[in-house]
Amino acid sequence: MKKHLVEPGKKIKLSERDPQDIGDFKGGKEEGLKAISKLNEKLQELQELLYAEGRHKVLVVLQAMDTGGKDGAIRRVFDGVNPQGVKVASFKVPTGEELAHDFLWRIHKQTPASGEIVIFNRSHYEDVLVVRVHGYVDKNVWSKRYEQINAFERILAENGTTILKFFLHISKDEQKERLQARLDDPTKHWKFSLGDLDERKLWGDYQAAYEDVLNKTSSTHAPWYIVPANRKWYRDLVISKILVETLENLNMKYPEPKDDLSGIVIE
Amino acid sequence: MKKHLVEPGKKIKLSERDPQDIGDFKGGKEEGLKAISKLNEKLQELQELLYAEGRHKVLVVLQAMDTGGKDGAIRRVFDGVNPQGVKVASFKVPTGEELAHDFLWRIHKQTPASGEIVIFNRSHYEDVLVVRVHGYVDKNVWSKRYEQINAFERILAENGTTILKFFLHISKDEQKERLQARLDDPTKHWKFSLGDLDERKLWGDYQAAYEDVLNKTSSTHAPWYIVPANRKWYRDLVISKILVETLENLNMKYPEPKDDLSGIVIE
């Protein structure tokens, strides 16, 4: 999975990353789904251990172009994981109160507590993506945000938060197919707005903005992964595997009982 | 499932409710698990519809004696339901800031938004349960809370919240077995504290406090159900069935698309 990592300090080009890639995975969709299912079992165990130990905080950031598969990935990867220990924070258009604070204020409120996994469905990165592409703030404002984000994430990491960031990378053709599928299915029409097509016209601007994000904010304490996401099963496999390996590397242990339980009789 | 409802205005006695009961269900555990699995599929569809329509708010309150099965019920009933639309709020010992406000202040913050399902794992009812049993506040304080709770829940209901409250009813013997099982399994020791045994000694006081809760706060807009919970499969079946039927009765519809989508071509 190392090949999907954006190595801190190195410059990547999105155009050189193939959204159709399946890395060095031996097998197709069927084998992929089996592997995801095994990883899911491990994830369920690791989440329980994380919660029991109550020492680490885990933050998973998901970003993608429209139809990139954030919702689907959350459902598949976290299927069956105890909902008490996993929270999803979705960041919509900021409210008046949120806009009256710095852009990280509403983000900080949603960061994980000890023992928790929090998934950001969109995140503070929108403040250097949609905000930049549409010019909602001046360049001298958004251009300072990369370093502010790095500083913010360093604070979280130094205070016990394990951060993983995934960019779900789809091709422009794949987006077309997915939008068309929504259009062809009347039960999906409520999800569709003409604004989605306006955003699609800005594809190039968004790719450039993402490239800057990936190059400026991938750090050892909060790495970015570019997840080839044209194939949904491979997307879910990559996220599952990186998440499970990261949790395994925390070397967590079940805590000692609070009290001496020897010789206890329940009446 | 009607037989498990606490009819508003009628007085129930907990000692007359059998925690071992399986109502008029025809079949045993195997048939029960199949039924739960079917209900779970429906629940997944209904949750998506709830989210899409974005009109109703759903609040599920779970209360039980220790080991009563709140955590297990949440995992089984909501297995596979989109984690983005379902939040679990767990209420622990109140913080200083929470205690400096009225007892419903921290509760109100966690109530569901439109399109959301929120599950309360413990709730404002602890303020007339543990608080009453241990005398943390005077009787003249806690005794007024039943009407305050009814008024609060009426406000939520009149503002679009569908409220379902489940008391998971286990027997004292069943609790003994479950505590013993935890004691016999070293990987569960971290969950165990001697305080659990002190609480068990107050079993009678808690049952009396629960009886008052059930008799004073079951209303048409926020009914209580006494869920026989010695058998885990029947517990999960009752909750699933009542939840699915309640959601079906909302007669929800997928919303119309925001824009006229006829003749749209994706470029």
Rounded to the nearest angstrom, the minimum Cα separation between B134 and chain A is 20
Distance separating alpha carbons of residues A80 and B82, to the nearest angstrom: 10
Q: A24-53, pLDDT tens digit by residue?
A: 999 999 999 999 999 999 999 999 999 999
Q: How confident is the model at residue A6 (pLDDT cuts 50, 70, 90)?
A: very high
Rounded to the nearest angstrom, the minimum Cα separation between A237 and chain B is 18
Q: A47-72, pLDDT tens digit by residue?
A: 999 999 999 999 999 999 999 999 99
DSSP for A157-219 reads HHTTEEEEEEEEE--HHHHHHHHHHHHH-GGGGGG--HHHHHHHHTHHHHHHHHHHHHHHH-B
Tokens of B188: 């569960």
Confidence check: pLDDT of A260 > 90: no
A100 and chain B in contact, CB less than 8 A: no
B265 and chain A in contact, CB less than 8 A: no
Q: How many CB pairs (< 8 A) connect A and B? A: 105
Average pLDDT over residues A222-240: 98
Contact A84 B90 (CB under 8 A): yes
Please give the model's pTM, rounded to 2 decimal places. Answer: 0.91
**Per-residue pLDDT, B200:** 97
Q: What are the backbone angles phi and psi of residue B248, rounded to the nearest 5°? A: -60, -35
Q: A103-159, pLDDT tens digit by residue?
A: 999 999 999 999 999 999 999 999 999 999 999 999 999 999 999 999 999 999 999
**Per-residue pLDDT, B236:** 98
DSSP letter at A250 equals T
DSSP reduced 3-state for A64:
strand
The H or E element spanning position A63 is strand A57-64
Distances (CA, A) of B214 to B3, B9, B18, B99, B155: 14, 10, 16, 25, 19
B202 and chain A in contact, CB less than 8 A: no
Residue with tokens 């904010």: A217
Task: Name the amino acid, one letter, at A154.
Answer: R
In chain B, positions 110-169, which contact chain A (CB-CB < 8 Å)? 119, 121
Residue of A nearest to B70 (CA): A84
Stretches in chain B below the pLDDT threshold 70: none
Q: A151-199, pLDDT tens digit by residue?
A: 999 999 999 999 999 999 999 999 999 999 999 998 888 888 899 999 9
**Per-residue pLDDT, B191:** 84
In chain A, positions 53-82, which contact chain B (CB-CB < 8 Å)? 71, 74-75, 78-82
Class at the top of the CATH hierarchy for domain A2-173+203-248: alpha beta
Contact B176, A240 (CB under 8 A): no
**Per-residue pLDDT, B136:** 96
Q: How confident is the model at residue A259 (pLDDT cuts 50, 70, 90)?
A: confident
Residue with tokens 């097509």: A197
